[in-house]
Amino acid sequence: MRTYSVNLKNFVERTYKFLRSVDVPTHWSKTKNEKYDVHTILVLYGLFCLADKSYSRFVELIRPSMKELFGTESVPSRSTLWYAWRCIPPAFLRRLVQLSGKGGRDKVGALDPTHFQISRPSVAYCKRTKRKLEREPNRKTTIVTGTRSLRILDAVMRKDHHRNGLDDIPKLMNGWVKGKTVAADTEFDAEDRFHQMVIAAGGKGVAPLRHKGIPIHRTKGSRRKQLRRKWPGRSYRRRVLTETANSMLKRGMGETLGGRTVWQQARHFYAKCFTHNMAMRC
């Protein structure tokens, strides 16, 4: 929580209110016999992401505050939390990210890929074993940030960390694009794979052209020609705010994704994005 100066009681109340407003079911079983309902499990998952501790340390950390935050002195064990959180599908958490990112009156959505580690070796260990930290296995993610509210509008994570960021564009082109300007870096300078997809979704793309000295008549693509004629610098200058959101995620909730499988790592990643949005709402 070094990045997020959030009142935990306000965070818990806002998260409960949001889950009720988007009609998240209170129970997933037909018998409704869970001791801790779905809303409580999701709120605890958000606090777990903010704490950035192990399961055992998180349980001991939350124990004195259970009465004030949840109105009960019963503390779930670490095995209960592990079994409950592993039942949450990543697609469900990604949908919560999309819903919690709405309402920020953002006119520009900044798009940027970033890497999250899946191992956490110490610097001393890497020096002793002659391993390089930058070559440790990681997962490449793409995050879309609203430049006014700093909420995450959408995010996506895949297994292959060597892919190009353009591979995520078809999956990211959904409802948040309509009426917005999508700002991205030079990696996304592609007429068919970026600009035309953004236009088809109802927005306008802004990405710097790779080659600066090319005349307009030799520039390929109608949208790329428009950008060469008149560069929308005011919109593109807000792209750096997505770097701010990426930094907040990594400094505030850690740059390591927990879990052995890609499915578990994606669940942790989307949970961090959802927690970030709820912290911004507070």
The tens digit of pLDDT for each residue in 48-75 reads 999 988 889 999 999 998 999 888 888 8
Residues with Cβ within 8 Å of 243's Cβ and at least 6 positions away in sequence, in order, are 112
d(CA 167, CA 194): 10
Tokens at 83, concatenated: 């079994």
The answer to whether 235 and 206 are in contact (CB under 8 A) is: yes
Instruction: Give the rounded distance of the alpha carbon of 230 from its chain centre.
Output: 32
Look at residue 125 and tell me whether its pLDDT is greater than 80. Answer: no
The tens digit of pLDDT for each residue in 86-119 reads 989 999 999 999 999 998 889 999 999 988 888 7
The answer to whether 145 and 180 are in contact (CB under 8 A) is: no
The tens digit of pLDDT for each residue in 205-246 reads 999 998 888 888 888 889 999 999 999 888 889 899 899 889
Residues with Cβ within 8 Å of 94's Cβ and at least 6 positions away in sequence, in order, are 154, 155, 156, 270, 273
Task: Name all domains of the chain by residue range, CATH numbers in brackets.
Answer: 8-88 (no CATH), 108-242 (3.30.420)
pTM of the model: 0.91
In this structure, are strands 138-146 and 152-157 parallel, antiparallel, or unpaired?
A: antiparallel
Residue/partner pairs of 123-126 with CB below 8 Å, 24 or more apart: none
Helical spans, DSSP H, in the chain: 8-21, 38-51, 55-62, 66-70, 78-85, 90-100, 123-129, 169-172, 196-200, 222-229, 233-236, 241-253, 262-281
Q: What is the dihedral of CA 46, 167, 184, 186, to 10 degrees?
A: 140
The tens digit of pLDDT for each residue in 182-206 reads 999 998 999 999 999 999 999 999 9
Tokens 């930290």 sit on residue: 133
Tokens at 22, concatenated: 């988007």
d(CA 242, CA 154): 12
The answer to whether 19 and 27 are in contact (CB under 8 A) is: no
Give the N- to C-terminal CA distance of the chain in Å, as an integer. 14
